[in-house]
Amino acid sequence: MSQIQLNNKFGDWTGVEHFTANAEPPFVRAAVTSNLNWLYLHIELENEVGLDENILPNEYLLLLDLDDDIDTGVDYANLGLGVDLLINFANRQAIRYTGGSGVENLNEVGLRAAPTYSSKEFEIAFSRDMLGEVGASIRILWYDGDAESSFPASGMEHEWNDSLDPFTPSSIDRTEGTLNRVAFWNMNNRMDQTPAKAAMERILQAVAPDIIGFSEVSNVSANYVRGLLNDWIPLDDGASWNVVKDDYDLMVASKGAILSSHASVYRQFPVVVEAHANWQVPMLFTSSHLKCCGGSSNEAQRQSEADEYMAFLRNAVNGTGDGPVLNPNAPIVYGGDLNMVGLDDPIYTLVSGDISNESANGPDFAPDWDGSSLTEWPVLQSDHPFDYTWTSNSLSSEWIPGKLDYIITSDATAQYMGGFVLKTEEMSTERLIALGLWANDALAASDHFIVVADLGLGELMGYQPDSDSDGIYDSSDNCETIANNSQEDFNGDGVGDACSDSDGDGLSDALELELYNTNPNSSDTNQNGIPDGMELCLCGSVGLCPGDITNDLVVSVADLLALLGLFGASC
């Protein structure tokens, strides 16, 4: 069996036997497995919860009988287990009844979980070294304090398994087919600290990104960071990195030119950059740092920020509003520290385009160029099968490591080729030496790990639609569904004459101007009381040639235009 990966993707649990709940709500199913280093749990629930948050309150407990012996530990709620370790998720506490010191936090028992935000499904891991003394087998029970129900009835018995396929560290070399390597990194305001800078330099030299989204850089200027990058990762021919900063703590650094930047989007910094030439069009690259932490006001603020960005993106894609107008199929890359704790709604909005507050931010839209959602990529640590990007330096923290930093792209145009989160403390000595890194570099540089993605061409890149096949791309065609390569627009209203009926008489402006010499601004050109569309009554009165609406004895495009102009009129 393959190594379990904590990445909010549950396909690797397919081969693990599950216990299924029949009449034991709120539980649906659960499973347990292990390897030499970790105990893994999978749980699926009927209702969405924030496992270790109070935004969606729950009373879920996890009871672990570490030696499968009822005579040791505590028979909690008379459930028939000798509970050695109790996990109270909502309170973020572990209670050790055997061989411990009472109440501990979840870090002290080596707990990890995914996702970090609310869900109906979670995967959880415990470090075996931190669980305490264990027997040859273990028994695990889920308990809901609200319903006073447990699942499965007699617990899940599990014999330790040391034979899972080991996790193979992934290469951090650039993936074949990559056009641009992008990175997002929360710098924890350490870019002016000498020890942190040394670690940052080694990491950036090993990673070698082309475009970087920085957050928590309020204490340094764009010129300062430009100088660091020119020193750390010098470009060919003496060229300089291009760096721009918003009005607070976000930056974008790019090897290519920065064509425009848009600091008006709150806590998000969209920048149009000149990316690899094979994209054919500039890239929209957004560095973000959404509102931190739990609580109803923070949740509402984070959702408002997600809504605001999607309104910005909708306008940029559709060419409306005061912001940039994106070229068709422009690669869209969004990421950074999204602080995704509590509710999952903001990440759902950022991927799907489903705006929560439409009255303030306008309608929903499909944000990818193929009419689908954007894609949030499950980037794993390069040397560890977990996806978390933030961790506290102290075991005393009540907050367990979590995935706070994300990469989202328009996969129709910017396909994820590969990527990684760089956590140097998990690397072997040989690998560190080969990459020029030190074991403590990641945590010395920041409390967030750098997130890296290699992006290549999606299926739509280079394709620009021309719906009416008139040689004018839809993006600039003033009449997308009716061929009009001349793009005539007599009144300059932005709608081509071929598909505009300015006076509402049933005749297109093009027909009135080019065929009938009537006035496209008057529904009754000769003022005889009969609208032009009815008076002309394009019925083919000669009758010698079916389809010859214009009565010129030739069935031509002019007849089709005349017929299209009749829609909605009566004769």
Q: Which tens digit of pLDDT belongs to each residue from 417-433?
A: 999 999 999 999 999 99
Q: Does residue 211 share a domain with residue 117?
A: no
Task: Quickly state the pLDDT bin for 54 (edges 50, 70, 90).
Answer: confident
**Sheet with strand 102-105: strands edge to edge:** 102-105, 93-96, 85-88, 60-65, 137-144, 149-159
Cβ proximity of 344 and 49 under 8 Å: no
- Mean pLDDT estimate for the chain: 91
Task: For residue range 378-399, list pLDDT tens digits in order.
Answer: 999 999 999 999 998 777 888 9
Q: Are 523 and 505 in contact (CB under 8 A)?
A: yes
pLDDT at 523 > cutoff 60: yes
SS3 422: coil
Task: Identify the DSSP state of 493.
Answer: S
User: How many secondary structure helices (H) and strands (E) does the chain include?
Assistant: 11, 23
Q: How far is CA 333 from CA 213, 246, 387, 409, in A?
A: 10, 17, 19, 5
Q: Give the pLDDT band (50/70/90) at residue 541.
A: very low
**Domain check: are 289 and 395 in the same one?**
yes
CA distance 409 to 326: 15
Q: What is the pLDDT of residues 497-522, one digit of tens each?
A: 889 998 888 788 888 888 888 998 98
Q: Is residue 467 part of a domain?
A: no
Whether residues 113 and 48 fall in one domain: yes
The answer to the question of residue 325 being in a domain is yes
Domain final position from 421, 438, 457: 457
pLDDT band at residue 451, thresholds of 50, 70 and 90? very high
Through-space distance between the first and last CA atoms of the chain, rounded to whole angstroms: 74
**Which residue type does 139 have?**
R
Whether residues 421 and 329 fall in one domain: yes
Does 115 have pLDDT greater than 50?
yes
pLDDT in tens, 288-344: 999 999 889 999 999 999 999 999 999 999 998 889 999 999 999 999 999 999 999
Q: Which of 43-52, 264-273, 494-503 has the highest mean pLDDT?
A: 264-273
Domain assignment of residue 426, yes or no: yes
Please give the C-alpha separations between residue 280 and each of 233, 276, 286, 396, 432, in angstroms, as whole numbers: 25, 8, 19, 50, 37
Separation CA 333–CA 185 (nearest Å):
14
Q: Quick one: 201 and 59 in the same domain?
A: no
* 17 and 128 inside one domain: yes
- Give pLDDT, residue 515: 81
Residue 469 resides in a domain = no
Any domain includes 472:
no
Q: Does 479 map to a domain?
A: no
Mean pLDDT to the nearest integer, 455-459:
93
Q: Residue 485 domain-assigned?
A: no
Q: Are residues 143 and 192 in the same domain?
A: no
For the record, the structure tokens of 128 come out as 């075996």
- Whether 490 maps to a domain, the answer reads no
State the residue range of the domain holding 546.
501-566
pLDDT attached to residue 540: 45
Pair (280, 385) in one structural domain:
yes
Statement to judge: residues 57 and 184 lie in one domain: no
Question: Per mean pLDDT, which range of 14-23, 186-195, 217-226, 335-344 is the poorest?
Answer: 14-23
Are 516 and 551 spatial neighbours (Cβ–Cβ below 8 Å)? no
Per-residue confidence at 192, pLDDT binned at 50, 70, 90?
very high
> Residue 131 is encoded by which pair of tokens?
């669980």
Q: Take residue 336 and report the two structure tokens written for it.
A: 């950074």
Q: What is the CATH number of the domain that holds 334?
A: 3.60.10.10
Same domain for 140 and 57: yes
Which backbone phi and psi does 40 adopt, to 5 degrees? Answer: -115, 140
Q: Are residues 99 and 220 in the same domain?
A: no
Domain count, the chain: 3
**Shared domain check, 377 and 232:** yes
Q: What is the CATH number of the domain that holds 127?
A: 2.60.40
